[in-house]
Amino acid sequence: MWSSVVSAALLCLAALPAPAVAAARPTTLSVLSFGAAADGVTDDAEALVAAWRAACRVPRATVLLPSGHRFLVSPVTLQGPCSTRLTLQVDGTLLAPPDMDSWPRSRRPLRWLNFKWLNGFTVQGAGTVDGQSITSLRDSSPADAPHQRSTGHWHSSGAKPTLVRFYSSFNVTVRNIRISNSPRCHLKFDSSGGIKVKNVTISSPGDSPNTDGIHLQNQGRRDQELQHLLR
C-alpha cells in the first residue's frame, strides 16, 4: 500500500519535464563528482563522458573541469544532440595521454577531443588543453634530428591527431582557454557554422612542423567570427 503510493510519487517526479526543473538554476556538473582521479596520470575519460552525458540532457548545464586539477583523458567523442546552451568549463588542465605511441596503430586516433552534433555549445575557462606533444614533434621531424630516436608520444609515420575538433556543430563558442602542443591542428571545425573563437591562446614550440592553429573545413567562411585570437 505505502510502497505503491511512494512509487507513484516517484513516477510523478520523474515525469516532470526537465526544462521546468533546470530553468530555475543552471546545473553545474563537476567531473570530480563522476569519479575523476584528477591526478594527471589516471585516465579520466570515463568520468568526463559520464558528466557529459548527464549534462547533455539538461538545458544550460555546465560540465566543469575545476581549477587546480590535471585531468588526463584518452581520446573521447563528446556528442550531441544535447539540450541547448551546454558549456564545458575548462578551469583546470586537460592533458592528452603521454604515450600514445605505444598504442596499437589501429587505436591511434585522428582526433583527441572530438565534439559532434552540437548546437549552442560553449567551451570556456581559464584552463589549458595540452596535447603534450613537444617531444614527438621534434623527434618525428627527420630533417631536424635524424639521429634522435623517438622518445615522445604522438609520434608515428601515419596521421597525427587534431587536438580539438568540432564536427557538424552550430553556434559554437570557444573562448579564453589556452590550447597548446598539438601534434597537428589545434582547433578544427568541420562542416560547422556559427562559430566564434574569442581570446583563445594557441601555442606550440617554435620549431613545430605543420601545426595549424585553427583549421576550417567544408564550410562557408562568412559566418565564422574569429575574434581577438592570440598566438
Ligand X SMILES: *[C@@H]1O[C@H](CO)[C@@H](O)[C@H](O)[C@H]1NC(C)=O
Fill in the per-residue mask, 123 to 142: x = in contact with ligand X (CB under 6 A), - = not in contact.
---x----------------
Distance CA 195, CA 223 (A): 7
Say whether residue 170 binds ligand X (CB under 6 A).
yes
Q: Which is nearer to ligand X, 174 or 185 (CB)?
A: 174
Say whether residue 117 binds ligand X (CB under 6 A).
no
DSSP 158-215: SPPPEEEEEES-EEEEEES-EEE--SS-SEEEES-EEEEEES-EEE--TT-SS--SEE
Least separation, in Å, of the C-beta of 11 and ligand X? Answer: 34
Q: 3-class DSSP state for residue 18? A: helix
Say whether residue 191 binds ligand X (CB under 6 A).
no
Distance CA 37, CA 97 (A): 14
Distance CA 121, CA 29 (A): 15
Say whether residue 176 binds ligand X (CB under 6 A).
yes
Least separation, in Å, of the C-beta of 125 and ligand X? Answer: 7
Distance between start and end Cα atoms, the chain: 67
Say whether residue 119 binds ligand X (CB under 6 A).
yes
Q: Which 76-105 residues touch ligand X, going by CB under 6 A? A: none
Least separation, in Å, of the C-beta of 126 and ligand X? Answer: 4
Closest CA to 72 of 96, 105, 106: 96
Q: Which stretch of DSSP H or E encloses residue 16?
A: none
Q: Which is nearer to ligand X, 194 or 209 (CB)?
A: 194
Q: Which is nearer to ligand X, 120 or 183 (CB)?
A: 120
Quick one: which of 28, 30, 171, 219 contacts ligand X (CB under 6 A)? 171
Q: Contact positions toward ligand X, by CB under 6 A?
A: 119, 126, 170-171, 176, 194, 199
